[in-house]
Amino acid sequence: MRALMPLFLLLSFGLACAAPPQQDGAAESTDSAATEQVVNVYSARHYDTDQSLFERFEAETDIKINIIEGDSAALLERLRREGEASPADLFVTVDAGRLHQAEQEGIFQPTSSETLESRVPAHLRHPDGLWFGLTKRARVIVYAKDRVEADAITRYEELADPKWKGRVLIRSSSNIYNQSLVGSILAAAGEEATEAWCRGVVDNMARVPQGGDRDQIRAVAAGEGDLAVVNTYYLAQMIAADDKPEDQQAAAGIGVVFPNQADRGTHVNISGAGVVRGAPNRENAVRLLEFLTDEGAQAVFAGGNKEYPAVSSFAPVAELAAFGSFQEDTLNAAAFGANNKEALMLMDRCGWR
């Protein structure tokens, strides 16, 4: 992660108090500032890859990107406070659940773009054009190669099988990736079956949920459990971490299962973005969205952060390709995102901490 970029001045040059009389040449300078092309981005993604893409966009278009970074909750609260007066043009975040939260808050406006609609598959964008997926991450089951056969588990549902008692590692119920996974199972199986599955997973946990996805992988490598549920890009990053040989060593003993290949496919989540309601620079925001889905930008996302491209015609990086190809669940991300609240309540009932 890189350090936060300087916060942009909230269009203060256009809101300043009455200025003193201009000197010769000052009016020309003021006119130039007033016509400067900008796009104001609120982003919950904090990756070097994104910064490099923003710099390339500026160089190619002469449109300046002003950015505020923070976590999704803080940025959403800021957008609520600012309301129609917000200078934000584009809101970028991770997980369909957070995109749904922004949608429910009325943060987005619909965007119609033949370019976006032709590039981004239908299940990775909002049906009404409120947001579009930029990258995707498969939530997979990983296993200890020295203790588990590669075909010993093939479906998410099997995580509740008593044979895995004391062997399953997974993050807490507060983790939005898990909420979206459970939301997708709710859509596929209904509430009763999903709650039964959830109780089985809790019974099979090797420890109280703790840490992030990398911590689950490290715990499998250390023998604290035999299976874990993680996003693919975390494992791929560990494999590529030349500066962290301990992570590379842990990842070397881990196998990957893409669940549910015989039925609905593996759950994939997204990072995505939408044009903010009342965006003062709407056309520039749409132009940036289109730029982020072109072939060059998708290559940067994939190579730098080890995410799957949202644009299906573009191949994944070597670390992800080594896991093999897979069939993904094509349930629209808006659907499982909408299930996040119900999923969290269900997980709480089951004792998933």
At 123-133, the pLDDT tens digits run 999 999 999 99
What is residue 286's three-state secondary structure?
helix
Q: What is the pLDDT of residue 251?
A: 96
Distance separating alpha carbons of residues 100 and 274, to the nearest angstrom: 11
The pTM score is: 0.86
**Cβ atoms of residues 267 and 243 within 8 Å:** no
Q: Is residue 2 part of a domain?
A: no
Give the mean model confidence (pLDDT) for residues 210-231: 98
**Cβ atoms of residues 307 and 271 within 8 Å:** yes
Tens digit of pLDDT for each residue in 285-306?
A: 999 999 999 989 998 888 888 9
**Cβ atoms of residues 175 and 344 within 8 Å:** no
Distance separating alpha carbons of residues 93 and 114, to the nearest angstrom: 22
Q: Is residue 240 part of a domain?
A: yes
Distance separating alpha carbons of residues 311 and 128, to the nearest angstrom: 19
Give the mean model confidence (pLDDT) for residues 319-327: 94
Q: How would residue 21 be classed by pLDDT, with cut points 50, 70 and 90? A: very low
Q: What is the pLDDT of residue 35?
A: 65
For residue 112, pLDDT beyond 60: yes
If asked whether residues 144 and 130 sit together in one domain, one would say no
If asked whether residues 144 and 258 sit together in one domain, one would say yes
If asked whether residues 217 and 128 sit together in one domain, one would say no
Query: Looking at 28-37, 155-164, 191-200, 224-233, which range is the least confident one?
Result: 28-37
Instruction: Name beta bridge partners: 66.
Output: 40
Distance separating alpha carbons of residues 234 and 245, to the nearest angstrom: 15
Q: Tell me which long-range contacts 174-178 makes (C-beta under 8 A, separation of at least 24).
A: 174/344, 176/95, 176/97, 176/98, 176/340, 177/95, 177/137, 177/139, 177/213, 177/231, 177/269, 178/229, 178/347
If asked whether residues 299 and 331 sit together in one domain, one would say no
Average pLDDT score over the chain: 89
- The token pair at 259 is 């669940």
Q: What is the pLDDT of residue 129?
A: 97
If asked whether residues 82 and 192 sit together in one domain, one would say no
Provide CB contacts within 8 A for 190, sequence distance 6+.
Answer: none
What is residue 95's three-state secondary structure?
coil
If asked whether residues 74 and 170 sit together in one domain, one would say no
Domain residue limits at 338? 137-267+324-349
CATH code for the domain of 331: 3.40.190.10
If asked whether residues 341 and 239 sit together in one domain, one would say yes
Q: Is residue 259 part of a domain?
A: yes
If asked whether residues 20 and 113 sit together in one domain, one would say yes
Percent of the chain with pLDDT over 90: 82
If asked whether residues 166 and 254 sit together in one domain, one would say yes
Q: How would residue 14 be classed by pLDDT, with cut points 50, 70 and 90? A: very low
For residue 17, pLDDT beyond 70: no
If asked whether residues 97 and 47 sit together in one domain, one would say yes
Q: What is the pLDDT of residue 229?
A: 98
Q: Is residue 103 part of a domain?
A: yes
The count of structural domains within the chain is 2
CA-wise closest residue to 336 among 94, 100, 44: 100
